Amino acid sequence: MSRIDNIKEWFESYVASFCKEEADFTAKVLLKKKHTLLVLENIINLAKSIDLDQDNSELAECCAILHDVGRFEQVKRYNSFSDSKTINHALLGVEIIEELNVLKEYSEEEKALILSAIEKHNMLEIPKISNADEEILVKLLRDADKLDIYRVVTSYYTELKRNSNQGIELELPDKPAITKKIYDSLMKEKAVNYKYLETLADFKLLQMSWVFDINFKKSYKIIYDKDYINTIYETMSKTDEVIEVHRKVKIFLENNL
C-alpha cells in the first residue's frame, strides 16, 4: 500500500477505537469522521484547482486526514468540542500524531510540513511563513476545513425540525444579541476571534467572517455557489448590525470570485 493508504487505514482504526461507547458519544465521533473525509475531498479538489504537484498533493491529503485527530480525544476527555472551554484540538492532535508515530513513513522535512499545517489550521490568522511548501499546505487545509464546516452548519441551521446540537453550537445560548467586538472585527474585514463569542448569533457572524480568511479563488466560488453566507444570514434576526455585516461580507465575497 502507498503511504497515504496507510495513513487512511490508521485513521479508520483510530476512530473505530472511540466507537465503543454509548450512542450519543459515538454519534459525535462519527460526525467528526465524516467531516474529516469531506475535508479530504475538498483539499483534493483545491489542490487540483491550483495544479499542485503530486508530492505536495499527497502531503495535503495527509494533512486533511489527520487535521482533526485531536477532536476524538478531546470529546472523550471533556465531552465537548469547544477549544476555549477545554483544550486546543490542533495542538492535541499534533501531540497524538507524534506520540503514536503516525508519520513514521515520512521524512523529517515532510513531518514538519504536515504537523505545521495541522497546528495552524485553526489559528485566527496565518502567521508569517517563509517556506513556500508549508504556506501552501497551511492555506489549503484552512480553506478545505472551512468549506466543510460551512456545509455542516448550514445543513444544521436549515433542518426543518431541528433539535439543538450543542456540539455544533459550542454550548452558546441561542440569543439574537451581538457582541460589539465581533461586529467591529467584521466591519474591519477581519476574521472573528472565538474568545469573543457570547451567543449563537455571534457564532453565525464568526462563520460569515471566514470569507476574509479564504485563500483560493476556487474556495470563494464554492462558498458563493453553495450560497452559504445567505443561508446563515436567513437564520438570523435582521437587526441593523446584521444587515450591515451581511452586505459587507456579500460584497467582499463577490469581489473575490
- pLDDT band at 237; cut points 50, 70, 90: very high
Q: Residue 119 pLDDT more than 70?
A: yes
Q: What is the pLDDT of residue 175?
A: 86
Q: Who's near 79: CB < 8 A, 6+ residues apart?
A: 25
Q: Phi, psi (5° rounding) for residue 127?
A: -70, 165
Q: What is the pLDDT of residue 20?
A: 76
pTM score above 0.85: yes
The rounded percent of the chain whose pLDDT value lies above 90 is 81
Q: Who's near 153: CB < 8 A, 6+ residues apart?
A: 168, 204, 207, 232
Report how far apart, in Å, the C-alpha atoms of 38 and of each of 14, 44, 101, 195, 235 are: 18, 10, 24, 27, 24
Could you tell me if residue 224 is left (phi over 0), alpha (psi between -120 and 50 degrees) or otherwise beta?
alpha
Q: What is the pLDDT of residue 163?
A: 67
Q: Residue 161 pLDDT more than 70?
A: no
Q: Residue 96 pLDDT more than 90?
A: yes
Q: Residue 160 pLDDT more than 60?
A: no
Mean pLDDT, range 245-256, rounded to an integer = 97
Q: What is the pLDDT of residue 172?
A: 81
Q: How far apart are CA 225 and CA 218, in angstroms?
A: 10
Q: Mean pLDDT lowest for which of 2-11, 104-113, 191-200?
A: 191-200
Q: Mean pLDDT lowest for which of 49-53, 83-87, 120-124, 170-174?
A: 170-174
Buried b / exposed e over 143-173, threshold 16 CB at 10 Å, is: bbbbbbbbbbbbebbeeeeeeeeebbbbebe
Q: What is the pLDDT of residue 82?
A: 85
Q: Which of 148, 199, 166, 193 is nearest to 82 (CA)?
A: 166
DSSP symbol at 238? -
Residue position matching grid coordinates 514538519: 112
Query: Are the beta carbons of 4 and 61 closer than 8 angstroms?
Result: yes
Alpha helix positions (H), the chain:
3-16, 23-49, 54-66, 69-78, 89-99, 108-120, 132-157, 166-169, 180-187, 200-209, 217-225, 228-233, 240-255
Query: Are the beta carbons of 114 and 137 closer than 8 angstroms?
Result: yes
Question: Domains of the chain (ranges plus CATH)?
Answer: 3-147 (1.10.3210.10), 172-255 (no CATH)
Q: What is the pLDDT of residue 84?
A: 85
| Other Cβ atoms closer than 10 A to 177 | 12
Q: Residue 144 pLDDT more than 70?
A: yes
Q: What pLDDT digit, counting tens, does each position of 194-213 carry? A: 888 899 999 999 999 999 99
Work out the mean pLDDT of the chain and round it to a whole number: 93
HEC-encoded secondary structure of 58-71 = HHHHHHHHHCCHHH
Q: How far apart are CA 180 and CA 202, in angstroms?
A: 9
